[in-house]
């Protein structure tokens, strides 16, 4: 079935063409490289995996309860709009909410795939080209598995959010080679990684937990790559050049904050999005969720050297400045551990099931004998 048959509203069947600017850069230095980036490149090669084999696609998913999270996770919970919904309509709202979230994931991952390819082309040093090539493969895998999850398990797809589309366009059309890093590796990937983490930790359903845990194992490396590359480069920039990057971060963070409100969902249910904005603002669950979504971006921005009073004031106004104390390396280590533990638990369970099956066969043969 074509994805276009699953969209909540008609989407153009033609491609979205973003004109690219800037130079494609070749380098003739093949031996020099930064050890930490080359170590990430090696890890990127070692950690390639096949989504058709590592993910247990036989697991059932109820499209009206995709994540198994409480009703409080929906912004209109407890409002007059909620009281007007029947149980069937609440189930459909849950389906739309999960579809919208995973649809933005798949659109963002396609943007990440294209941006990684752009970095291979435009970045001047070979070690970064090496790593970005592995990232492009990672992102292709993520697009594959998120689109499969949407089509086979939810059966509904939302178009790309306009705020995400705006940030992708700004990221890809800037001629400076470092801007795809800043827009994608720090802002879009940073927000996605935090969103993946929140959902991974709250979902009670095994298939989305698997998908997000394994994707996060890749994405943690990608954000680390952006940090290493930009931290070195931004030490060389003038105050005026740094200010231009800070402007980009501030605008991008506002776009990301507005994106996560999911206004398209409420429009489809005949609810005024502006009123839902107020409900989001007053919902303890949604405030917690939004605060956690910047837990990766804020310390990363600080780490790469974009930490002026103006940047800090922006994060203060958004209520996320406290996230600057976060330990990105510890978070990345936890992402690795969760994925590895999930693998170990799954394979241990499979091994136990196989052993029980063999034991049953042996017992049956003994009884016959």
CA 285 to CA 76: how far, in whole Å? Answer: 11
**With a threshold of 0.85, does the pTM exceed it?**
yes
pLDDT of residue 332: 86
For 317-358, the pLDDT digits (tens) are: 988 999 999 898 898 889 999 999 999 988 787 767 676 776
**Spans of all domains in the chain:** 3-9+33-344
Average pLDDT for residues 43-54, to the nearest whole number? 92
285, pLDDT greater than 80:
no
Write the CA distances from 263 to 152, 279, 365, integer angstroms.
25, 12, 62
Minimal CA–CA distance to 121: which of 40, 35, 191, 181? 181
Dihedral sign for Cα atoms in the order 207, 209, 214, 218: positive
Q: What percent of the chain has pLDDT over 90?
A: 57
Per-residue confidence at 3, pLDDT binned at 50, 70, 90?
very high
What kind of fold does domain 3-9+33-344 have according to CATH? Ribonucleotide Reductase, subunit A (1.10.620)
Average pLDDT for residues 125-132, to the nearest whole number? 91
Angle between helices 189-202 and 328-368 (to 10 degrees): 40
pLDDT of residue 369: 59
290, pLDDT greater than 80:
no
281, pLDDT greater than 80:
no
Q: DSSP labels for 298-324?
A: HHHHHHTT---HHHHHHHHHHT-GGGG
């Amino acid at each position: 079935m074509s994805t276009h048959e699953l969209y909540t509203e008609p989407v153009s069947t033609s491609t979205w063409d973003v004109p690219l600017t800037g130079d494609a850069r070749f380098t003739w230095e093949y031996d020099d490289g930064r050890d930490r980036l080359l170590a990430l490149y090696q890890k990127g090669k070692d950690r390639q995996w096949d989504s058709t084999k590592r993910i247990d696609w036989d697991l059932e998913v109820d499209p009206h309860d995709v994540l198994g999270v409480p009703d409080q996770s929906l912004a209109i919970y407890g409002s007059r709009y909620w009281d007007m919904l029947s149980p069937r309509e609440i189930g459909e709202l849950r389906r739309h909410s999960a579809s919208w979230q995973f649809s933005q994931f798949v659109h963002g991952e396609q943007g990440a795939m294209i941006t990684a390819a752009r970095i291979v082309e435009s970045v001047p040093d070979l070690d970064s080209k090496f790593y970005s090539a592995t990232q492009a493969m990672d992102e292709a895998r993520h697009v594959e598995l998120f689109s499969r999850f949407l089509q086979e398990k939810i059966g509904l797809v939302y178009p790309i959010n306009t705020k995400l589309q705006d940030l992708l366009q700004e990221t890809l059309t800037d001629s400076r080679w470092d801007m795809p890093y800043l827009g994608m590796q720090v802002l879009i990937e940073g927000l996605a990684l935090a969103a993946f983490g929140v959902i991974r930790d709250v979902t009670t359903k095994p298939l989305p937990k698997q998908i997000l845990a394994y994707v996060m194992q890749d994405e943690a490396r990608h954000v680390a790559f952006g940090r290493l590359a930009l931290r070195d480069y931004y030490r060389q920039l003038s105050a005026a050049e740094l200010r231009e990057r800070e402007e980009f971060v501030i605008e991008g963070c506002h776009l990301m904050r507005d994106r996560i409100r999911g206004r398209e969902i409420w429009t489809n249910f005949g609810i005024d999005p502006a009123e839902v904005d107020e409900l989001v603002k007053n919902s303890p669950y949604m405030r917690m969720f939004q605060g956690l979504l910047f837990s990766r971006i804020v310390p990363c921005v600080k780490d790469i050297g974009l930490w002026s009073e103006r940047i800090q004031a922006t994060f203060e106004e958004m209520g996320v400045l406290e996230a600057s104390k976060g330990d990105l390396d510890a978070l990345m280590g936890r992402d690795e551990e969760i994925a590895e533990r999930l693998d170990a638990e799954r394979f241990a369970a499979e091994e136990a099931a196989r052993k029980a099956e063999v034991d049953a066969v042996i017992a049956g043969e003994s009884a016959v004998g």
